């Protein structure tokens, strides 16, 4: 009974759904579908090839422009550096990391080349200065020897006056030999670290002592000294002999810069630097000043602007070494026509 009842209900539902009659039309025959699939595959393959070729072309362009050309440029720079031909290199390069590296490389090579040129120039000045300083005593010794040879060429004619003259000449030879020894020692110890003999030193008193050595020279040159000392300076550890030599050279340089007279201002001052202390010394003159173009060379060995006056070009170089050996610092401030100031800083060590 239940089964018959279910079948009746299903019949009622089925009867309520409208029946649509029609057909499904297939647009392609089976052979045409195969051909369509084959054409699609061919089209995909052609597209893939075209895209691949385009990608290869683009990648080649990018690689050539961003990598290969900059690398070739870098190799060219290295080749020119080997032949020391950096002047003709361009000053700008491609963008990107390799371009920046190339620019940095060129800048570094130019700096190295400039530094090398300066060293060669300094070495040439050093050799020329040493040769000049040694030649003068040798010439004097040679001339003296020739004169002595003339005096004693005829021993039977040698008088007591000739013997006295010979003694004077031999004294000259001895003095010239001492001068040669001095030049040699200065040359050998020029770049050797200074050995300090430290002892408690009253800097103001030392400055007065150094200035007293120039009393007659300054009177003759019409140079006046104005002292501005810090009276509260303590005695601190210095190599008195070396500091005297350094200050002597600075003062002498100032006097020589004022051929028509002028003034030298000597100032000392204590400063607190962090947890330590330092003493500043300023030696300022009203002389001709130093041209900016040579200020970097002023402390170089054998660099001098006083060759006609017999200057060796060692004074300021040695002074700079002495201050450095004391762990101090010396700075130069100068302007042509307005004078020069040497500013020296020395750490205060009391024990």
Are residues 226 and 266 in contact, defined by beta-carbon separation less than 8 angstroms? yes
pLDDT, tens digit (0-9, with 9 covering 90-100), for 81-97: 656 666 666 555 555 66
pLDDT, tens digit (0-9, with 9 covering 90-100), for 277-308: 899 999 999 998 888 878 787 777 666 665 55
pLDDT, tens digit (0-9, with 9 covering 90-100), for 150-179: 777 777 777 778 788 778 878 878 877 877
Residue-level pLDDT at 159: 77
Phi-psi region of 96 (alpha: psi -120 to 50; beta: other; left: phi over 0): left
Q: Which residue has the higher pLDDT, 70 or 214?
A: 214
Q: Which residue has the higher pLDDT, 210 or 10?
A: 210
Give CA–CA dist 47/59, Å, rounded: 18
Give CA–CA dist 129/123, Å, rounded: 10
Percent of residues, the chain, with pLDDT higher than 90:
18
DSSP E strands, the chain: 199-201, 223-228, 236-238, 262-273, 276-285, 329-335, 339-347
Mean pLDDT of the chain: 76
Considering the four listed CATH numbers 3.80.30.20, 3.40.718.10, 3.40.50.300, 3.30.565.10, the one that applies to the domain covering 199-347 is: 3.30.565.10
pLDDT bucket at 310, cuts 50 / 70 / 90: very low
pLDDT, tens digit (0-9, with 9 covering 90-100), for 186-204: 666 655 656 788 999 999 9
Overall pTM > 0.75: no
């Amino acid at each position: 009974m239940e089964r018959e009842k279910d079948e009746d209900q299903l019949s009622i539902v089925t009867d309520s759904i409208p029946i649509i009659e029609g057909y499904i039309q297939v647009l392609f025959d089976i052979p045409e579908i195969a051909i369509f699939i084959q054409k699609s595959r061919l089209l995909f393959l052609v597209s893939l090839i075209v895209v691949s070729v385009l990608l290869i072309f683009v990648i080649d362009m990018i690689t050539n422009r961003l990598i290969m050309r900059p690398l070739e440029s870098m190799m060219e720079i290295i080749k020119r550096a080997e032949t020391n031909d950096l002047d003709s290199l361009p000053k700008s390069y491609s963008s990107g990391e390799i371009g920046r590296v190339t620019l940095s490389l060129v800048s570094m090579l130019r700096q190295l080349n400039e530094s090398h040129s300066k060293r060669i120039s300094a070495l040439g000045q050093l050799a020329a200065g040493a040769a000049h300083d040694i030649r003068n005593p040798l010439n004097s010794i040679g001339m003296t020897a020739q004169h002595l040879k003339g005096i004693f060429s005829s021993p039977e004619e040698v008088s007591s006056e000739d013997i006295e003259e010979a003694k004077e000449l031999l004294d000259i030879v001895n003095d010239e030999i001492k001068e040669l020894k001095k030049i040699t020692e200065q040359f050998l110890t020029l770049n050797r670290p200074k050995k300090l003999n430290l002892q408690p030193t009253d800097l103001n008193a030392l400055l007065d002592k150094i200035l007293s050595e120039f009393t007659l020279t300054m009177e003759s040159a019409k140079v006046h000294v104005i002292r501005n000392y810090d009276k509260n300076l303590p005695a601190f550890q210095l190599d008195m002999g070396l500091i005297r030599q350094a200050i002597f050279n600075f003062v002498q340089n100032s006097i020589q810069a004022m051929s028509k007279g002028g003034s030298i201002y000597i100032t000392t001052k204590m400063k607190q630097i962090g947890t330590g202390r330092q003493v500043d010394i300023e030696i300022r003159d009203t002389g001709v000043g130093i041209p900016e173009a040579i200020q970097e060379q002023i402390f170089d060995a054998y660099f001098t602007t006083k060759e006609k006056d017999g200057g060796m070009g060692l004074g300021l170089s040695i002074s700079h070494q002495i201050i450095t050996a004391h762990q101090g610092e010396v700075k130069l401030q100068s302007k042509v026509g307005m004078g020069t100031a040497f500013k020296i800083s020395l750490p205060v060590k009391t024990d």
